[in-house]
Amino acid sequence: MTGSHRVVLLACGSFNPPTNMHLRMFEIARDFLHRTTNYNVVAGLISPVHDKYGKEGLVNASDRIQMLRLALNSSSWVHVSEWETQQDEWTPTREAVQYHQELVDSVVNGNVDPTVKRQRLDSSTSWLTHLAGSTDPVSVKLLCGADLLESFARPGLWKDEDIEALVGKYGIVVITREGSNPYKFIYESDVLTRHQKNIHIVTEWITNEVSSTKVRRALRRGESVKYLVQDSVIDYIYKNALYNTHNK
């Protein structure tokens, strides 16, 4: 692709458990960006949140990572990033995006300070080696559903300067969700309107309201989640008695 700009899509969330929609988000976003922009999406990354995020019912990061690995077996270009889970504390999303941008920069441009580079290249990061073949810049952009974008307005949840950096410096790709209206949401926010060019709204016409909450509920009740979640993930959940499945 000539004149294209390389992009890595990074999705942050609980993935508790990973659903098929989490995987599909990446496909929809990549298709859309290839059709409507000169972005060449070269990799996708899923960054599960730290255990200390403390959300009710959050299973251990090690289990969420295992489930993501199994789910991503069917993807040739989306990978798990364990970095957030390896920190001592929960990491704000802006810092997670910044870390991955610096990681990519260290490989593409070799211009990051040596300590940072050493820490970063320790983890198994096969997807990075693909990027090293060229010095064309790579931007890391946050990939999320419209509910995450709309959570920017929840009082006290996000720092203003982090929102500014996420939309101003990095950019966001937002997948619409039933009941959300990201266009209206952007219109109502001065900062989002100012950086509108950096916010790509991807309309998912084939609406699919699977969520991890609904999957956990179904599992708890002994109901089938087949075709909502990868079979290998379902097997893992039952084998490890996650989400109260041991009662079944």
Ligand X SMILES: O=C(O)c1ccc[n+]([C@@H]2O[C@H](COP(=O)([O-])O)[C@@H](O)[C@H]2O)c1
Q: Does 158 bind ligand X (CB under 6 A)?
A: yes
40 near ligand X, rule: CB under 6 A: no
Residues 101-160 that bind ligand ATP (CB under 6 A): 144-145, 147-148
Among 8, 10, 20, 22, binds ligand ATP (CB under 6 A): 22
Helices (H), 47-205: 61-71, 83-86, 93-108, 114-122, 126-131, 146-150, 160-165, 182-187, 190-194
Cα 72 to Cα 145: distance, rounded to the nearest angstrom: 19
Contact 64, 16 (CB under 8 A): yes
Contacting residue, 8, 11, 173, 199, with ligand ATP by CB under 6 A: 11
Q: Is 157 in the site for ligand X (CB under 6 A)?
A: yes
Query: How far apart, in whole angstroms, are the C-alpha atoms of residue 160 and residue 189?
Result: 12
Our finding on whether 72 is near ligand ATP (CB under 6 A) is no
Looking at residue 228, what DSSP letter applies? T
Question: Torsion angle, CA of 43/46/47/53, rounded to 10 degrees?
Answer: 160
Q: Say whether residue 17 binds ligand X (CB under 6 A).
A: no
% helix, strand, coil for the chain, step of 5: 50, 15, 35
92 binds ligand X (CB under 6 A): yes
Of 10, 13, 44, 85, the one binding ligand ATP (CB under 6 A) is 13
Give just the sign of the alpha carbon dihedral 19, 192, 200, 105: negative
Strand order in the sheet with 172-175: 78-80, 39-48, 5-13, 138-145, 172-175, 199-202
198 binds ligand X (CB under 6 A): no
Q: Which stretch binds ligand X (CB under 6 A): 6-14, 17-25, 106-114, 183-191?
A: 6-14
Nearest to 229 by CA among 49, 23, 13: 23
According to the binding rule CB under 6 A, does residue 93 interact with ligand X? yes
What, of ligand X, ligand ATP, none, does residue 92 touch, CB below 5 to 8 Å by kind?
A: ligand X
The answer to whether 213 contacts ligand ATP (rule: CB under 6 A) is yes
> From ligand ATP, ligand X, none, which one binds at residue 158 (CB under 5 to 8 Å depending on kind)?
ligand X
Subset of residues 94 to 153 that bind ligand X, contact rule: CB under 6 A: 94, 148
CA 235 to chain centre: 23
Centroid of chain to Cα 127: 15
Among 45, 112, 175, 201, binds ligand ATP (CB under 6 A): 175
162 is in the binding site of which of ligand ATP, ligand X, none (Cβ under 5 to 8 A by kind)?
Answer: ligand X
Interacting residues with ligand X (CB under 6 A)? 12-14, 49, 53, 55, 92-94, 148, 157-159, 162
